[in-house]
Structure 1
Amino acid sequence: MTTGIETERKFALAKGQQLPSLDAIAAEGATTQYEQVSVYYDTPDLRLNAARQLIRRRTGGPDAGWQAKLPTQNPDERVEVHLPHCGERMPRELRDLVTASVGERPLYPVAQIRTRRTSRELLGADGTVLAIASADEVVTSVAGGSKEWTEAEVELVGGSPALLDAVEAALAAAGVPRSASPSKLAQALADEVARLAEDRGSASVAEVVSGYLATQVGVLQALELPVIRDEPEAVHRSRVATRRLRCTLRTFEGAFRAVAIRGLREELRWSGEMLGVPRDTEVLTARLADKLDHLSEADAAVVRPAIEKAVVGHHEQAHKALVTSMMTDRYRRLQLSLEQLLAAPPLHPMAGESGAILLPQMFDQAVARVRQAVLRAEARPSDLTRWHDVRKAAKAARYGAELVARVRPDDGEATVAGWTAVAGWLGAVQDAVIGNQFVSDVSWAAVQNGADRAPFDELRALEDRAIRESLAAARAALAELL
């Protein structure tokens, strides 16, 4: 990664207008021509553009690769960070540079700019390159629309800022004014900025669903490094965001062309499973620590060392597998697919309709799936795998309720609270099931090495009790909702 200061000024050229000669200011050296394509990344509300920051991936030309530009106090200057071309995914180092501006918002492609550039060197008396003067034919693509214009820019290489003043005066005399726009990107995004500022009234299905999905993608992007570092809550929050994405694409699949998102849902399932194993060990750590406090001091002394050793080893292995998965092409393709889901969502025509009308109807289908799962579980209430299916359906209903609450806030919050309670109780059942099995596995090995089985059995009894109590609470909460 290289860092430098870019100092330049931009000028407006009429369509077909050539950059006037600047030989009265400096000798003109070699002329070069090339074409470059730049893809620019920003948040849904264009935070980087508002902050005069940019991140782009460029192909063609002498500075191909990934770049970030950050403003300085001097309007002619920006800090430029460059990384050689290293694939389609944004390097994590560049996101770190703009974290203060974007927070946990997602970054994804918002504009493409194709430039046909003709550059000439401006030379000093000793042949030193003082600046590069370029004429650019620009074609942009933003949100399905395009713009074309011609402009010029002069970038200092070895010259002083006074040279830019002289260039500006010479070009003004030749009828070439300073550009009214600070950058190509700002000009390309001007209509989109104006659209975002409009009060459009009732939100459409597409706007509500896309906004919710964007929030989850932002969490995943922001927490990539914390997950790799195994920072507190990073795996948990990433797992929840992954579930929200997958459940939303299922519950509100009517907003999309189904074929286009089916594969993405399966890949999110895989990612969720990879996050799930280390998260389960985090839950086990806290859960069993609490349960151990309910044992006598003597019994806890028997159980605690074996439990803690097993949990630590299990977590290290699970986290290592997770990090390995995040270095694969499969993971990279998933993240690129999520970027494209935001940049160019494969929407069904009905997604343009009112969200307040259609989203609750889609949510009702998710509730119906819970009802069906409950009927199946009640037919054999001792079968905990069936209650686990209820839990998964209830989680989808909970996340769906969160989204519906955005268009029906008056009664939506109560619905969210109800489904959150159900999912919480059923989650407690599943946590106890996992804890019970884990203790069983650890006790078998410990007993083989001469440990007393009784303290382990007592710990399992506590988990059995937790299963019964949590399941009873979940069934009562479901009865109120259904």
Structure 2
Amino acid sequence: MRGPIAGIERERKYEIGETTGIPGLVGTGPVRSQAAPAEQFLDATYYDTTGFALAQKGITLRRRTGGEDAGWHLKLPIGPDTREELNVALGADELKVPKELSRLLRAYTLGRKLVPIAHLKTDRFAHQLTDGDGHPVATLTDDHVTGEAGGESARLDRWRELEIELAPEVAPGVLDELGHALTGAGAKTSPWPSKLRRLIGDRVPARKKPAERPDAGTVVVGYLRQQADRLRQADVGVRRDADDSVHQLRVAVRKLRSALRTFGSIVDGAATAELVAELGWLGRRLGPARDLEVAATLVAADVDRLPPELVLGPVRQYVTRYFAREQTVARERVVETVDGGRYLRLLRSLDSVLAEPPLTAAAGKPARKGLRRPVRKAVRKMERAEKAARGLSGVDREVALHSVRKKAKRVRYALDVIRPVEKVGDWRKRVKGALRELGRHQDVVASREVLYRLGISGFGDGENTFTFGVLLGRGDGAAAEHRDGFARAWRRLRGKRPGWLS
């Protein structure tokens, strides 16, 4: 389900005194006109779980009446000062969260009910800022807010704030220019990302800031939390059928699984074995959809590169129909997976591990010392796999090189884990270079299997399959080129190994 997108919201908030006048912004950046204020009365009820699962991740869900965009608003953070906003119109049951929004948030709520947590009333005075041609630059709003939060103890608050929101086509740097003008006129940058967080900020559990010299456990758990966040972000994209979202979800799953396996001496491997197994299951469920995305792109590009005389019949149309059919089935499998109970249990298990990590005694060691041994072990496994692949041919070589690729990925992910405490950038690039060639080789091997299936399917449908045979033959040459590329990349990798890993 691809929800309706209201647009990308780029804004900043500022605090201002109750009696302070509105700063004039004419002449700042491209602004040449500042309209008189238009007053609006906004009434918003905010929803979250009782444990503030959404607020902890910077997500806002509200039902608002009044103004030009009354309805349900879901705001998802995508960067500093930037959020994506999804809107759904008010329905017959105005107090019930729309299913299309609650489903998007399933990876955050984990089945917990979304309930009203706060109520805000805003008397808004909006000033339109335009350029010399009358085109919108931004909106400056002067908000007088009354907020009420429930819970064990009720909370009432009143405040005034300014908000600058850029028009969609305006360059991001204009936000800085307008912000400098506001602070120069006496406004102060708000420490709160939203009105809701200002009202309930101290009730939202906050993550502890890492120590300047973290121990090994802190570094590994911090990385796991980053990947868990990325998994949930990708989950929303998958449910909206966003481009590349299945790939991003699969990558997050792989990184979580790899880190748990590589650093099992830090975060107890025995205690996380079941979670690791479930992450493996999830990766396998996502695999066919992602593999088809890659194969569809490769086959289409290969057909386009062929001389016209070698493309016999409606090959492109047949390829498009084939992949559309296969990808629809694979997409349904992914949706079934993320909507299922097993996936929900996996996320709950992941949260449990991150809430109370099963750390070993080695986790208390200084990070550089405690992480060195697991990374060395991963590197040795990669090197043994490469050695085992030498001298092989045919299918045996393909299987062996795929094993090298998997081991090299674990090394790359391990290097990502230790980046906060150890400089490994140059060698990491060399690992990525070797991985790039191995990945391209594997893509050729996978696409060859797809081409074989296309040929069989086309033959059964009465199509001319000559072109697929040509592509199969060319694939052998491409695979050989990538094997040569990997050999060169491996020599560079072996030639400059960090002393830290020696």
Give the TM-score of the pair, scaled to structure 2: 0.60
Whether the 8 Å contact between 2:312 and 2:464 is mirrored in structure 1 is no
Does residue 377 of structure 1 match 2:372?
Answer: no
Whether the 8 Å contact between 1:108 and 1:342 is mirrored in structure 2 is no
Whether the 8 Å contact between 1:391 and 1:426 is mirrored in structure 2 is yes
Aligned match for 1:390, one of 379, 400, 404 = 404
Instruction: Find the aligned partners of 1:216 and 1:435 in 2 and give their Cα distance.
Output: 29
Pick which of 310-319 and 446-455 moved more: 446-455
Whether the 8 Å contact between 1:41 and 1:54 is mirrored in structure 2 is no
Aligned match for 2:469, one of 457, 461, 469 = 457
Aligned match for 1:270, one of 281, 300, 321 = 281
- Residue identity over aligned pairs, in percent, reads 25
| One-letter amino acid matched to 1:258 | G
Shift of 1:284: 1.1
Aligned match for 1:350, one of 362, 369, 379 = 362
Whether the 8 Å contact between 1:307 and 1:439 is mirrored in structure 2 is no
CA gap of 1:235–1:39, structure 2 versus 1, over 3 A, is same
SS at match of 1:439: helix
Aligned match for 2:335, one of 323, 345, 351 = 323
Shift of 1:203: 1.8
Aligned match for 1:186, one of 202, 210, 228 = 202
Instruction: Find the aligned partners of 1:188 and 1:229 in 2 and give their Cα distance.
Output: 28
SS at match of 1:255: coil
SS at match of 2:305: coil
Correspondence list, 1:139-158, <5 A: 153=154
Shift of 1:92: 5.1
SS at match of 2:51: strand
Instruction: Find the aligned partners of 1:432 and 1:253 in 2 and give their Cα distance.
Output: 33
Instruction: Find the aligned partners of 1:5 and 1:243 in 2 and give their Cα distance.
Output: 40
Partner of 2:458: 446
Whether the 8 Å contact between 1:440 and 1:456 is mirrored in structure 2 is yes
Aligned match for 1:304, one of 316, 339, 345 = 316
| One-letter amino acid matched to 1:279 | R
Partner of 2:346: 334
Pick which of 239-248 and 202-211 moved more: 202-211
Instruction: Find the aligned partners of 2:95 and 2:222 in 1 and give their Cα distance.
Output: 31
Shift of 1:421: 1.4
| One-letter amino acid matched to 1:404 | I
**Structure 2: which 5+ residue stretches go unaligned?**
1-41, 63-73, 75-93, 111-147, 158-197, 495-502
CA gap of 1:377–1:94, structure 2 versus 1, over 3 A, is closer
Partner of 2:326: 314
Shift of 1:424: 1.4
| One-letter amino acid matched to 1:399 | Y
Partner of 1:142: none
Shift of 1:398: 1.0
Instruction: Find the aligned partners of 1:442 and 1:153 in 2 and give their Cα distance.
Output: 65
CA gap of 1:461–1:397, structure 2 versus 1, over 3 A, is same
CA gap of 1:154–1:218, structure 2 versus 1, over 3 A, is closer
Instruction: Find the aligned partners of 1:387 and 1:466 in 2 and give their Cα distance.
Output: 15
SS at match of 1:223: helix
Shift of 1:425: 1.0
Shift of 1:342: 2.0
CA gap of 1:82–1:449, structure 2 versus 1, over 3 A, is closer
CA gap of 1:461–1:93, structure 2 versus 1, over 3 A, is closer
Whether the 8 Å contact between 2:260 and 2:269 is mirrored in structure 1 is no
Instruction: Find the aligned partners of 2:251 and 2:278 in 1 and give their Cα distance.
Output: 15
Correspondence list, 1:122-201, <5 A: 153=154, 186=202, 196=209, 200-201=211-212
Shift of 1:271: 0.9
| One-letter amino acid matched to 1:429 | H
Does residue 280 of structure 1 match 2:296?
Answer: no
Aligned match for 1:427, one of 430, 439, 461 = 439
Instruction: Find the aligned partners of 1:401 and 1:154 in 2 and give their Cα distance.
Output: 46
Give the TM-score of the pair, scaled to structure 1: 0.63
Instruction: Find the aligned partners of 1:214 and 1:452 in 2 and give their Cα distance.
Output: 52
| One-letter amino acid matched to 1:328 | G
SS at match of 2:271: helix
Does residue 217 of structure 1 match 2:233?
Answer: no
Does residue 405 of structure 1 match 2:416?
Answer: no
Give a deviation string over 1:346-391, Cα, whole Å, max 9, x none.
1112212211222132111111111121122115243211111111
| One-letter amino acid matched to 2:406 | K
Q: How many residues align?
A: 345
Does residue 205 of structure 1 match 2:210?
Answer: no
Shift of 1:480: 2.9
Whether the 8 Å contact between 1:425 and 1:470 is mirrored in structure 2 is yes
SS at match of 2:358: coil
Shift of 1:449: 4.0
| One-letter amino acid matched to 1:477 | A
Shift of 1:94: 5.8
Partner of 2:497: none
Shift of 1:39: 3.2
Whether the 8 Å contact between 1:429 and 1:471 is mirrored in structure 2 is yes
CA gap of 1:155–1:203, structure 2 versus 1, over 3 A, is closer
The CA RMSD over aligned residues, in Å, is 3.9
Whether the 8 Å contact between 1:405 and 1:416 is mirrored in structure 2 is no
Aligned match for 1:416, one of 414, 428, 432 = 428
Give a deviation string over 1:327-349, Cα, whole Å, max 9, x none.
11100011112222222211112
Instruction: Find the aligned partners of 1:42 and 1:448 in 2 and give their Cα distance.
Output: 52
Give a deviation string over 1:101-157, Cα, whole Å, max 9, x none.
xxxxx9699xxxxxxxxxxxxxxxxxxxxxx9x996xxxxxxxxxxxxxxx64779x
CA gap of 1:370–1:357, structure 2 versus 1, over 3 A, is same
Instruction: Find the aligned partners of 1:135 and 1:446 in 2 and give their Cα distance.
Output: 64
CA gap of 1:107–1:201, structure 2 versus 1, over 3 A, is farther
Whichever of the two has the greater Rg, that structure is: 1
Instruction: Find the aligned partners of 1:479 and 1:135 in 2 and give their Cα distance.
Output: 62
**Structure 1: which 5+ residue stretches go unaligned?**
8-36, 56-67, 69-80, 96-105, 110-131, 137-151, 157-181
Give a deviation string over 1:415-473, Cα, whole Å, max 9, x none.
22111111211111111111111111111232344444432211111211111111121
Whether the 8 Å contact between 2:238 and 2:245 is mirrored in structure 1 is yes
Instruction: Find the aligned partners of 2:407 and 2:487 in 1 and give their Cα distance.
Output: 14
Partner of 2:133: none
| One-letter amino acid matched to 2:225 | A
Partner of 2:269: 258
